[in-house]
Structure 1
């Protein structure tokens, strides 16, 4: 193989600046997606059929269509409806947040339904209101069970965030592509970008395992 990383090393700080952009998009989108996902999960297990149908339809649409298509719609299609440009960063956050909410809602729904039915019956017998029961009894127990799945969603979102390069967001991938264009040398910058993503994913994986151990010890 004819690889020459010496030409890429001077541009490494430029590529590394994309880490902040990538993590910013992922963090904001995950927070937004988590809050919306909790809301959707509660609708899915609620007693109102119409709301259950709408929540399931939302999940079906966002899980059943490509993420890159959703990103294109928000960035290129939405301005056609609102007659106003949508910043690339905002389009990325909205797309990833709404998409992540669909997956998170299913994770949380499964976690809630996995909680022992006796916990719910005991709370109801004590006269605890439904909202307080969910907040103080059911959700805390469900969170312990679904933490690995949530961390996996966080990791997946981090990797998938690379597609924001198609709308010009200056993330890790976009910066590596720019360096490749400047040097007429694409493989080496892309390998560097891959190593950065791998390091981020491994860091998140270790963080997830540490949180899991802490939760197990707190039982």
Structure 2
């Protein structure tokens, strides 16, 4: 193999990579925030003890966790416009899909975090006159988020990796930027190798940060 990286320059990065990287990071951030919020609501519904809340939430989580993400992406991109009568657009479709899909995974993480809080603290909250929403807001959820923060962040790193699947609907993400560059410079092998290096560098750095945060949390405990 005769690899040639002579095309690598600031113009290459600015023209092909930065826009894709921006979209991938933005999609990750929005899907993380929306997924954690919706996932927390799903976790609370499953732990509420009320069947009319717990059963639909469980069906939602089990269904999405059993379907490949790329299939869900195609469903929302192709089927939802038929139902609402107008196209969503690749960016909007990707945001909605990832938020709803990741909520199923964040829900299980949050459910484990909520269950990790000792029941004695919950009972103590009720004993001083708090109601269920207050106990969750002031006692359970703050501790659950702290307990599960490293796992939530690791799931977010996986989410960033999964954003590359938006190629299925033609969205311009980080991987798409490298792909387009490879076609323009007629160097697909080199650009895919660079893509792998960039993804590895970002994810490895974030993983090291999560490990450091986990050690710090353990020291606080």
> After TM superposition, is the score higher than 0.5?
yes
Kindly indicate whether the alpha-carbon contact (under 8 Å) linking 1:8 and 1:189 is maintained by their aligned counterparts in 2. Answer: no
Gaps of 5+ in 1: none
Aligned to 1:7: 7
Q: How many Å separate the matches in 1 of 2:55 and 2:115?
A: 18
Q: How many Å separate the matches in 2 of 1:128 and 1:86?
A: 43
Count of residues in Structure 1 that have an aligned counterpart in Structure 2:
219
- SS of match in other structure, 1:7: coil
Q: How many Å separate the matches in 2 of 1:143 and 1:78?
A: 33
Kindly indicate whether the alpha-carbon contact (under 8 Å) linking 1:15 and 1:193 is maintained by their aligned counterparts in 2. Answer: no
Kindly indicate whether the alpha-carbon contact (under 8 Å) linking 1:8 and 1:188 is maintained by their aligned counterparts in 2. Answer: no
TM-score, normalized by length of structure 1? 0.94
Superposition map of 1:179-194 within 5 A: 179-194=181-196
Superposition map of 1:38-187 within 5 A: 38-187=40-189
**Aligned-residue CA RMSD (Å):** 1.5
Quote how far apart the aligned CAs of 1:215 are: 3.4
Say yes or no: does 1:206 pair with 2:212.
no
Q: Deviations over 1:63-120 (max 9, x none)?
A: 0101001101111111111110111011111111001100011111111111111111
Quote how far apart the aligned CAs of 1:194 are: 1.4
Q: How many Å separate the matches in 1 of 2:83 and 2:19?
A: 34
Quote how far apart the aligned CAs of 1:210 are: 3.9
Gaps of 5+ in 2: none
Q: Deviations over 1:9-40 (max 9, x none)?
A: 45233223321111001101111111100100
Quote how far apart the aligned CAs of 1:163 are: 0.7
Deviates more, 1:119-128 or 1:8-17: 8-17
Quote how far apart the aligned CAs of 1:217 are: 4.7
